Amino acid sequence: MAEPPAGPAPLAGRRVAEVLATSTGGVGTHLRSVLPALTGAGAAVTVCGPDATDALFGFSAAAAFRPVEISAGLDPVADARAVPALRRAAAGADLVHAHGLRAGLVAALAVRATARRAPRRPLVVTLHNALPERSGPLRRLLARAERATVRAADVVLAASGDLADNARRLGAGDVRVAPVSAPALPPARRGRDEVRTGLGLADGRPLVLAVGRLHPQKGYDVLLDAAATWAAGPRPPLVAIAGDGPLAAELAARVRDQRLPVTLLGRRTDVADLLAAADLAVLPSRWEARSLTAQEALRAGTPLVATRTGGLPELLGDAAELVPPGDAAALARAVDALLGDPARAVALAAAGRERAAAWPDEAATARALVALYRELLGPPGTPAP
């Protein structure tokens, strides 16, 4: 086969600003995973976000990094500082891509302010999460911010179909579903027995694993309600939760006070080891788009019990047991049934691996992003819009 003709990289000479707010999980993981492909395509990439995100994800090892403190929660005072800071950090960029609604709002304001003095640059906003379910003035303010942000974007990328549908209802012009692929986990370093012994498990006691940020969205209060029902049994499964976040102290106090069969592991780098050692994984979230944890569990062949919410049904299909969000009794029943039916667990693990094999991988996700940027900016050598 003949070699393709040599030519400039698809983003040669283009300057791209990637923007994110405070993140300790999926958004930061996704952005870090696509940076090598963007720079490999010739783009000069600058990541703009809080210093803490660079310390956690190492953006500066793959691209330029400029600190811009964008908080995860709506904060008008902080936003007033973040907008001019982002305007300076992204000066000269041909395209701005904001990851998440908070980053999108700040980026939209910064791009609009810059456009008064220079040609407007394309703005891409990726939606990773839905607004929290709450009412009152804050919910209305968040809804207005969401509407303004998606309407300001040239392209809205949505991590799941329900997010895309909502963006269209809000008046976004160009909305595309863009699945976020979980980066491949490193190989497990320890055997199943070693991991389980380290957790104090003996005599075949089941291990139920949850992985994710300790945040109200993740539904860990519901998981602890289910664990309370298991605690009354003769040999309750051990529920191990890997992650950190704002609810750490509250969850730890409840585990201690109610003597629940739960251990909080904190943030871990050995998720592959934990998945290989677990009898099953649980994802009790109130809402998810395209959960990285769910993807990791199915790839690892760990049977999964998850909630029927957001983008999870379209992601998982029949390769996981799905229960209603917020229903501790249904979650407990599903876990009990799966632990009591080894044949069903084996079949679910096989179905999970087959399902995961059909998902776009990290490289495909990055290629799609490179193609989008080229679509918006034109081929190398042409003036940027």
pLDDT tens by residue, 348-360? 999 999 999 999 8
d(CA 385, CA 94): 8
Tens-digit pLDDT profile for residues 176-212: 999 888 888 999 999 999 999 999 998 789 999 999 9
Q: Tell me, yes or no, whether 202 and 253 share the same domain.
A: yes
Token duo for residue 136? 């009152």
**According to the model, what pLDDT value does residue 384 have?**
65
Residue 82 pLDDT greater than 90, yes or no: yes
Residue range 312-327: average pLDDT? 97
Residue 5 belongs to some domain of the structure: no
Let me know whether 37 and 153 are in one domain: yes
296 and 167 in a common domain: no
Q: Using the structure block, give the residue that is written with the tokens 């999870």.
A: 312
Both tokens of 129, joined, read 């999460």
Residues 202 and 133 in one domain: no
Q: With a cut of 70, say whether residue 126 has pLDDT above it.
A: yes
Q: What is the pLDDT of residue 211?
A: 97
Residue 330's pLDDT is what?
Answer: 98
Residue 302: name the closest of 256, 264, 356 by CA.
Answer: 356
Helix (H) / strand (E) containing 18 = strand 15-20
Is residue 57 in some structural domain?
A: yes
Q: Is 243 within the bounds of a domain?
A: yes
The verdict on residue 384 lying in a domain is no
Give the model's pLDDT for residue 133. Answer: 66
For 136-180, how does the pLDDT look when each residue is reduced to its tens digit (9 = 90+)?
777 788 888 899 999 999 999 999 999 999 999 999 999 999 988
What three-state secondary structure class fits 255? helix
Per-residue pLDDT of 14-72, as tens digits, reads: 999 999 999 877 899 999 999 999 999 999 999 999 999 999 999 999 999 999 999 87
**Among the listed residues 57, 369, 178, 93, the one whose alpha carbon sits nearest the alpha carbon of residue 20:** 57
Average pLDDT for 119-127: 89
Same domain, 65 and 202: no
Full domain range(s) for residue 365: 15-181+361-377
Q: Which two tokens stand for residue 206?
A: 């089941």
Q: Are 143 and 75 contained in the same domain?
A: yes
Is 80 contained in some domain?
yes
Q: pLDDT exceeding 90 applies to what percent of the chain?
A: 77
Q: Both 152 and 212 in a single domain? A: no
Range of weakest confidence among 74-88, 91-105, 194-208:
74-88
Sign, CA torsion 175/367/293/142: negative
Helices (H) and strands (E) in the chain, counts: 15, 13
Q: What is the pLDDT of residue 1?
A: 37
Residue 235 and residue 304 in one domain = yes
Whether residue 91 is predicted with pLDDT greater than 80 in this model: the reply is yes
In CATH, what number is assigned to the domain containing residue 334?
A: 3.40.50.2000
CA angle 202, 207, 213 (to 5 degrees): 135
Residue whose C-alpha is closest to residue 294's, from 356, 248, 223: 356
| Reported confidence tier of residue 125, pLDDT bands at 50, 70, 90 | very high
Instruction: Quote the pTM value.
Output: 0.86
Whether residues 250 and 279 share a domain: the answer is yes
SS3 119: coil
Let me know if residue 382 belongs to a domain.
no
The residue type at 385 = P
Quote the number of domains for the chain. Answer: 2
DSSP line for 183-213: PPPPPP-S-HHHHHHHTT--TT--EEEEES-
What is d(CA 346, CA 351) in angstroms, rounded to the nearest whole number?
A: 9
Domain presence at residue 3: no
pLDDT of 74 higher than 90? no
Q: Is the pLDDT of residue 286 over 60?
A: yes
Q: Is residue 2 assigned to a domain?
A: no
Quote the tokens at residue 134. Answer: 């709450």
The reply to whether 170 and 232 lie within a common domain is no
Q: What is the mean pLDDT of the chain?
A: 91
CB atoms within 10 A of CB 58: 13
Who wins on pLDDT, 144 or 345? 345
Q: How confident is the model at residue 117 (pLDDT cuts 50, 70, 90)?
A: low
Same domain, 108 and 148: yes
Q: Among 224-228, 286-290, 315-319, which is the least confidently predicted range?
A: 286-290
- 311 and 207 belong to one structural domain: yes
| Distance, C-alpha 104 to centroid of its chain | 16
